Chain A
Amino acid sequence: MKLLKSLFVTFLICLPSLTFAGDLVVTISGMVCAFCAQGIEKKFKTEDSVKEIKVDLDQKKISLKLKDGKQLEDKRIIELVTDSGFNVKKIER
């Protein structure tokens, strides 16, 4: 019973990361400090088309989930990352 319970809790904890399949992934150079990278999260969160953002410092990537029917152009992504003080290396859709 205890094992079942902990398995369930583990499942719940992992759920967000399992279900987070981003619509696009942006690789960013210079993103080494979480305190500075926080600007990126803030910039994308205020963007109308962005539903969710996940920052991965290990991979130097951000995953973006867009709102239904919304688009986010490469040009705009580059602008947001540059305004945060970093550079875009790759955009995968």
Chain B
Amino acid sequence: MNKMVSLILGLSFLTAGLKAHPVSYKGAVSVMSMNQANMSDQWIHYSLTPRFSVGVRSIRLTEGSQDSWSHLSQFGLLVKRWNYDNFQANIYTFGGIGAHTYQDRNGFAALGGAKADIESRKYLFSQTYEALLQSKAKDFHRYTTRAGIAPYIADYDQLHTWLMVEYQFKPGYQRQHDVLPLLRFFYKNVLWEVGSSIKGEWLANFMVHF
């Protein structure tokens, strides 16, 4: 019964919208791959407009030696954007529904969340909340805060470098708190990040826009 309520709540998120930087320019295909020891998150999204995108997403959550997998259809919505001379700020929402597998059992999965970010050429700050509700495994909530600074200001066609630190709070999970210093690089339409938790676990993210 509890799971039903959770699912309904999850579905109601959908009416509110979808995920973080999942909306790009009109006609863009965005591929994102975010990988950590205890979680991986893969996205393919297509932006129908600069405000709305649709796609698919796969999430692996590892707790102890157990993996749970969720595969979802997802959409992203840019709720509000502020374009100024020296900075840009955004609010996104996202949501999805799909299936999940845990210990050979199959169930339903739903997710929803929101992201706010602000960036200039030198500084970046973002805050994300997302909930993944799984009918055959425990629910997952994650709060992510990220701050970044660019050590040099790169030109359009140069390699861009960012020093960042991410904090993740996952209540109820073994690794409730994670602090992840990381390096972001991007060149033209390809972005990659490498980092590690302060406990020494790796992190590798990759993103490309077509």
Q: Which residues of A contact B (CB under 8 A)?
A: 29-30, 32-40, 42-43, 55-58, 60, 82-87, 89
A33's closest neighbor in chain B, by CB? B119
**Looking at A29, A56, A60, A85, which has the most chain B CB atoms within 10 Å of its CB?**
A85
For the complex, is B152 an interface residue (Cβ under 8 Å from A)?
no
B83-A57 in contact (CB<8A): no
Interface residues in B12-47 by Cβ distance below 8 A to A read: 23-28
For B86, list chain A residues within 8 Å (CB): 32
Q: In whole angstroms, what is the CA distance A40 to B24 when docked? A: 11
Residues of chain A within 8 A of B153, CB atoms compared: 58
Q: With A32-B87, A35-B209, A39-B209 as given contacts, are A85 and B121 in contact (CB-CB < 8 Å)?
A: no
Query: Contact check: which of B23, B85, B154, B188 meets A60 at CB < 8 Å?
Result: B85
Contact with A along B127-167 (1 / 0, CB 8 A): 00000000000000000000000000111110010000000
The smallest beta-carbon distance between B91 and chain A, in angstroms, is: 13
Residues in A with CB closer than 8 Å to B119 are: 32-33
A-B contact pairs, 22 of them (CB 8 A): A29-B85, A30-B82, A30-B83, A30-B87, A32-B88, A32-B120, A32-B121, A33-B119, A34-B154, A34-B155, A34-B160, A34-B188, A36-B24, A39-B24, A42-B25, A55-B156, A58-B155, A60-B85, A83-B25, A83-B26, A83-B50, A85-B24
Taking residues whose C-beta sits less than 8 angstroms from the other chain, chain B's interface range is 20 to 34
Given contacts A33-B119, A35-B191, contact A43 B155 (CB under 8 A): no
Tell me the bound Cα distance from A32 to B82 in angstroms.
Answer: 12
B80 touches A (CB below 8 Å): no
Q: Which residues of B contact A (CB under 8 A)?
A: 23-28, 49-50, 78, 81-88, 119-121, 153-157, 160, 186, 188-189, 191, 209
Q: Kindly list chain A residues whose C-beta atoms are within 8 Å of the C-beta of B84.
A: 29-30
- B154's nearest neighbour on chain A, judged by CB, is A34
A35 to chain B, nearest CB (A): 5
Partner of B81, one of A32, A40, A85: A85
* CA–CA, A87 and B84, complex, Å: 9
How far is it, in angstroms, between the C-alpha of A89 and the C-alpha of B186 when the chains are bound? 26
Which residue on chain A has the smallest CB distance to residue B191?
A: A35
With A35-B191, A39-B25 given, name 19 new contacts (CB 8 A): A29-B83, A29-B84, A30-B82, A30-B88, A33-B88, A33-B121, A34-B156, A35-B186, A35-B189, A39-B24, A43-B25, A55-B156, A57-B121, A57-B156, A83-B50, A85-B23, A85-B25, A86-B83, A89-B85
Nearest CB in chain A to that of B207: its residue: A35
- Min distance, Cβ B124 to any Cβ of chain A, angstroms: 9
- Shortest C-beta distance, B44 to chain A (Å), equals 17
